Structure formats: structure tokens, C-alpha cells
């Protein structure tokens, strides 16, 4: 029996507002040598004492989104970048490598057709780790106006 292809899943890409503006203009997300995102992998779910049954497990998705927001805030500390978390959610097929945890490396550009939504922190943080509820959600078609 042939091996089944991996199912599509959401990957949260930490980025900056400026980089997301560039991606919107280009119609694709890309970074050399690869985009690194956070996804609900078996290892990630195990960190929370759970088995990964479905990528639709909302609690695990929110934890992955929060992890991506933390990584985004590190990127936003670079000179010339506005502060705050910015995350692009994409849907793509990925293979889990052993020992990778929640980190997923994606090579090649991800066209806008794979984008699900963007998240941006619009308020001051309430703690060290962003809570997903502190992130505003934007539909892909809203991004040009939201980033204006």
C-alpha cells in the first residue's frame, strides 16, 4: 500500500508588519533559505500531554499561534521594525521531522492562495507570552487595507 501524503495543516509564520506588507505586494510569502513556522505536530501536542488527533484542536492551535507571536516579537526587535507581533497563518502540507518540535521549515514561496489569515497585536501586552486573544484577526482580503 503506498504511503499517504501528509494532510494539509495550518502553519503559523512569525513575521513583521513590514515583511507582511512586502509579501502582500508580491502575492507570496518567502524568505531565504526557508520560512520557519509553528504547527501542531505530534511532539508539540505531547508537550501538552495530548495526542495530536486533528489540526482543528483549537487549544493546540491557539498555543501554536502564541508561540509564533513570541517568535514574531523577537523579529520585531530588529532595527527599523515596528514593535508588536505579526503572524501569517497558511495552510500547506508538511512532513514532521523527528526532534523538530513545533518548528516547521517551508522552502519555496507560499502563494496567497495558501494564506488563511493574519494576526497582529494591536494592544499592549498583558504578560511575557502573548495570549492569542490579544491578537486581532484579519482575513486575507482585508490585509491591503489593514496594513495600509
Which pLDDT value is given to residue 127?
A: 66
Measured CA to CA, the distance from residue 81 to residue 28 in angstroms comes to 20
Which pLDDT value is given to residue 105?
A: 86
Which pLDDT value is given to residue 15?
A: 94
Q: Are strands 135-139 and 28-29 parallel, antiparallel or unpaired?
A: unpaired
Would you give the DSSP letter of residue 111?
E
Q: Cβ distance 147 to 20 under 8 Å?
A: yes
Which pLDDT value is given to residue 25?
A: 94
Q: What is the CATH number of domain 8-147?
A: 3.20.170
Three-state DSSP at 78 gives coil
Which pLDDT value is given to residue 29?
A: 96
Which pLDDT value is given to residue 125?
A: 62
Run means of pLDDT, 10 residues per run, the chain, 148 residues? 62 93 95 88 81 68 90 81 85 72 84 95 68 85 88
Measured CA to CA, the distance from residue 33 to residue 51 in angstroms comes to 31
Amino acid at each position: 500500500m503506498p504511503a499517504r501524503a501528509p494532510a494539509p495543516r495550518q502553519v503559523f509564520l512569525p513575521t513583521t508588519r513590514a515583511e507582511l506588507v512586502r509579501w502582500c505586494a508580491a502575492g507570496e510569502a518567502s524568505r531565504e533559505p526557508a520560512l520557519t513556522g509553528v504547527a501542531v505536530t505530534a511532539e508539540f501536542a505531547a508537550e501538552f500531554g495530548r495526542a495530536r488527533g486533528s489540526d482543528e484542536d483549537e487549544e493546540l492551535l491557539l498555543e501554536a499561534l502564541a508561540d509564533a507571536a513570541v517568535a514574531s516579537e523577537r523579529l520585531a526587535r530588529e532595527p527599523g521594525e515596528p514593535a508588536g507581533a505579526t503572524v501569517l497563518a497558511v495552510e500547506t502540507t508538511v512532513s514532521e521531522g523527528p526532534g523538530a518540535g513545533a518548528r516547521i521549515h517551508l522552502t519555496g514561496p507560499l502563494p496567497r492562495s495558501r494564506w488563511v489569515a493574519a494576526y497582529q497585536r494591536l494592544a499592549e501586552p498583558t504578560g511575557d507570552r502573548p495570549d492569542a486573544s490579544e491578537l486581532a484577526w484579519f482575513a486575507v482580503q482585508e490585509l491591503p487595507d489593514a496594513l495600509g
